[in-house]
Every structure is written in C-alpha cells, then in structure tokens.
Copies of this chain bind each other. A is one copy, B any other.
Amino acid sequence: MLSKAERTKQMIVEQSAQVFNRKGYSGTSMSDIMEATGLAKGGIYGNFRDKDELAAAAFDHTYQKVLLAIRARVLAEKTAQCKLLAIFRFYHNYTVNPDFPGGCPVLNTGVETDDQIPFLKEKAAAAMQEMLQSLQRIIQKGIDTGEFNTGLDAKLEAALIYSVIEGGIMMSKLSDQPGILNKLLKHLKKEVEERFVK
C-alpha cells in the first residue's frame, strides 16, 4: 500500500499530467499546477525538484496510461488482424474520450519540443519509437505466420498507420470534429482487411 507521502506525490503527477497534456510544457505555470493539485508551492516542491522533473513524470504518466490501455486490448486478441483492429477501436472517438483529456501525449509533447526542451523531446521520441515498433512487430508477425501478405513492408505500414492516427487526432481536435479521425480509422480497417489479409 502507498504511504501518505507516496499518495500525495502520485496525486500531484496525476492532476498536473492533465494540465501539461492540455496546455503544453511552456503553457503550464506553477499556479496552474497549484490550482490542479490544491497544494501550495511548498507542497509541490517538497515532492519534485523543479518543473522539469514534474513535467517528465507527468509525460510518463499520460503516455503509460495510453500504452497500457492499448496493450490490454492487443493482448486480448490472438491474430495480427484482430490486434490491429483493436488498436483502431481504441482510437475511435479518442479526441472526445474523457479518459484521455488533451489528446495524444506523444503528438502534444513531440510537436512542442522537437525544436527545443531536449529532455522532453527525448521522452516523446522514445514513446513514438515504442509505438511504431509495436505496430511493426504485430504486422511482421502477421506476415511470418502466413496471415498477412508477404509483399507487405511492415516498417512502412506501421509508419503509415501511425501517421494517419496522429494526423487524424490533430485534425479532429483542431476542427472539433471527432468524425474525421473515425473516418480515417474506418479506412485503416478496410486496408487491413483488403490489403493485408491474404
């Protein structure tokens, strides 16, 4: 069981993670974090050295939440096709999913930090690689087991799927139209069914 101190630290991460994912690293102020956590400055700095340490923990928290939710769905499926479709279902209505406020942490942190803030860029880049490699592994396994066409380039297909999902999240959030992402996911499903499966 977590001690009271550990619970406080956990609460700070959870509450500030939502703020960081919505407002970005630069847009999040200490008063935003104080407001989200209900703590005074001393209560936050007693647990985290500075804004950077908290921002790093907040990114890990938001990203792990997405990763674990996807992983649970993927592990529940047997075939490569079903695993990919489970990922697409996870992202259905993602931009209005109350469990993941603020959108995709990799996209948000990645786009903000790619020209600056190296310690966060590194985290977002590693998360992106992990996502791409997971997709690639699923597709490659589908090819290796004879479920998918041997002509597929697993690395390219993984990048295509990820670009459509991330680009779709950007478009849906910016236009406040969850349907744009959903329509793209429907297309990805069709691609897997018609072009991937033997």
Contact = CB atoms under 8 A, between A and B. Distances in A.
Interface residues of A, number: 42
A184 B171 contact: no
Nearest to A172: B114
Contacts of A26: 23-24, 26-27
Nearest to A181: B163
Contact of A175 (B111, B112, B116, B128): B128
B112 A173 contact: no
Contact of A107 (B23, B111, B165, B183): B111
B174 A124 contact: yes
Contacts of A115: 22-23, 102-103, 173
Q: How many copies does the complex hold?
A: 2
Contact of A165 (B24, B128, B167, B183): B167
A99 to B, nearest CB: 16
A167 B163 contact: yes
A195 B67 CA distance: 34
Given A26-B24, A27-B116, A166-B167, A159 B174 contact: no
Contact of A121 (B22, B166, B167, B174): B174
A114 B164 CA distance: 18
A160 interface: yes
B175 A159 contact: no
Given A110-B170, A159-B183, A167-B168, 11 more contacts: A22-B116, A24-B27, A26-B27, A102-B115, A106-B174, A111-B173, A111-B174, A163-B164, A163-B166, A164-B167, A167-B167
